[in-house]
């Protein structure tokens, strides 16, 4: 049981390049999330998917797109990277079986945009 | 815009002491509250959640919730150097999304 996995771990991009961050979970969770974490800003929600086939914007969606490929996988795409997108990106999935929707995080992707 | 406020710290405590981490929130509709621990360079890991007024204990950790005062706290008893990390408070209004505070750094000195 690997939990939430993310690829790649590190990435350096040039301004204007595109890339896709991959996330997968093996916990059979319905909901999945993408966050970014910047120094002094805390964790901010980019997009989330409450169930397979649905996606919704979070607090900071501009410059990103997402795809909920199936129940296990949720990808984040940067179409034209900008230096302001330099950050650490975390994927999470959540389980409501305890009556409270608890989120579990992947190890993160560190992205540097030059 | 919902807000979750935490003192950024660092909060310094000696080994064996009780560390008290505090969090306030702006939305009276908030229902459940979470504490995550994040070591430097790592991802957040769930410590515990609470949704009823009062105390909830799990090992050395106790979460306290006071909805009237819009206040959540985390007590860590017998603090260890391995507890040194940033502690994130988060809330939800019952939907799946969380609003996080910016975290409090805890330093436990041997």
| Mean pLDDT of all residues belonging to chain B | 94
Nearest-CA distance B102 → chain A (Å): 4
Name which of B110, B95, B105, B104 is nearest B2 in CA terms. Answer: B95
Is B63 within 8 Å of B74 (Cβ atoms)?
Answer: yes
Name which of B26, B17, B22, B18 is nearest B35 in CA terms. Answer: B22
**What mean pLDDT is predicted for residues A95-114?**
89
pLDDT of residue A42: 87
Structure confidence at residue A41 as a pLDDT band (50, 70, 90)? confident
Number of residues written out for chain A = 114
Q: To the nearest whole percent, how much of chain A has pLDDT over 70?
A: 100
pLDDT tens column, B60-104? 999 999 999 999 999 999 999 999 999 999 998 866 789 999 999
Is B13 within 8 Å of B19 (Cβ atoms)?
Answer: yes
pLDDT tens column, B6-60? 998 899 999 999 999 999 999 888 889 999 999 999 999 999 999 999 999 999 9
Q: Is A45 on the interface with B (CB under 8 A)?
A: yes
Q: Is A50 on the interface with B (CB under 8 A)?
A: yes
| Residue A88 buriedness (CB in 10 A; 0-12 / 13-18 / 19+) | middle
Nearest chain A residue to B92 by CA distance is A101
- Which chain A residues are within 8 Å of B42, Cβ to Cβ? 107-108
- Which chain A residues are within 8 Å of B92, Cβ to Cβ? 101
Report how far residue B51's alpha carbon sits from residue A2's, in angstroms, rounded to the nearest whole number: 28
A33: pLDDT strictly greater than 80: yes
Which residues fall within 8 angstroms of residue B22, CB to CB, at 6 or more apart?
Answer: B6, B7, B71, B72, B73, B104
Does A102 contact B97 at a Cβ distance shorter than 8 Å?
A: no
- Which chain B residues are within 8 Å of A44, Cβ to Cβ? 100
Nearest-CA distance B84 → chain A (Å): 18
pLDDT of residue A97: 73
Phi, psi of A78 (to 5 degrees): -105, 115
pLDDT of residue A100: 79
pLDDT of residue A2: 81
User: Which of B92, B96, B100 shows the shortest C-beta gap to A42?
Assistant: B100
pLDDT tens column, A62-98? 999 999 989 999 999 999 999 999 999 999 999 777 7
pLDDT of residue A99: 73
Does B97 contact A33 at a Cβ distance shorter than 8 Å?
A: yes
Report how far residue B6's alpha carbon sits from residue B87's, in angstroms, rounded to the nearest whole number: 9
How many residue pairs from chains A and B have C-beta atoms closer than 8 A? 45
Beta bridge partners of A104: A93
């Amino acid at each position: 049981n690997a939990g939430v996995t993310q690829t790649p771990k590190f990435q350096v991009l040039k301004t204007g390049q595109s890339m896709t961050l991959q996330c997968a979970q093996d916990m059979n969770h319905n909901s999945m999330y993408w966050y970014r974490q910047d120094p002094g800003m805390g964790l901010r929600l980019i997009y989330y998917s409450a169930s397979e086939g649905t996606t919704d914007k979070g607090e900071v969606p501009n410059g990103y797109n997402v795809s909920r490929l199936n129940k296990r996988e949720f990808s984040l795409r940067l179409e034209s990277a900008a230096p302001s997108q330099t950050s650490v990106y975390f994927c999470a999935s959540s389980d409501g079986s305890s009556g409270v929707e608890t989120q579990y995080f992947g190890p993160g992707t560190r992205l540097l945009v030059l | 815009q919902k807000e979750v406020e935490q003192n950024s710290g660092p909060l310094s405590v000696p080994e064996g002491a009780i560390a008290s981490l505090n969090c306030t929130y702006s939305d009276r509709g908030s229902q459940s509250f979470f504490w995550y621990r994040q070591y430097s360079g790592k991802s957040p890991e769930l410590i515990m959640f609470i949704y009823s007024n009062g105390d909830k204990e799990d090992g050395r950790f106790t979460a306290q919730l006071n909805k009237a005062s819009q206040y959540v706290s985390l007590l860590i008893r017998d603090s260890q150097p391995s507890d040194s990390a940033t502690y994130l408070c988060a809330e939800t209004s019952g939907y799946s999304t969380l609003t996080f505070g910016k975290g409090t750094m805890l330093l436990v000195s041997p």
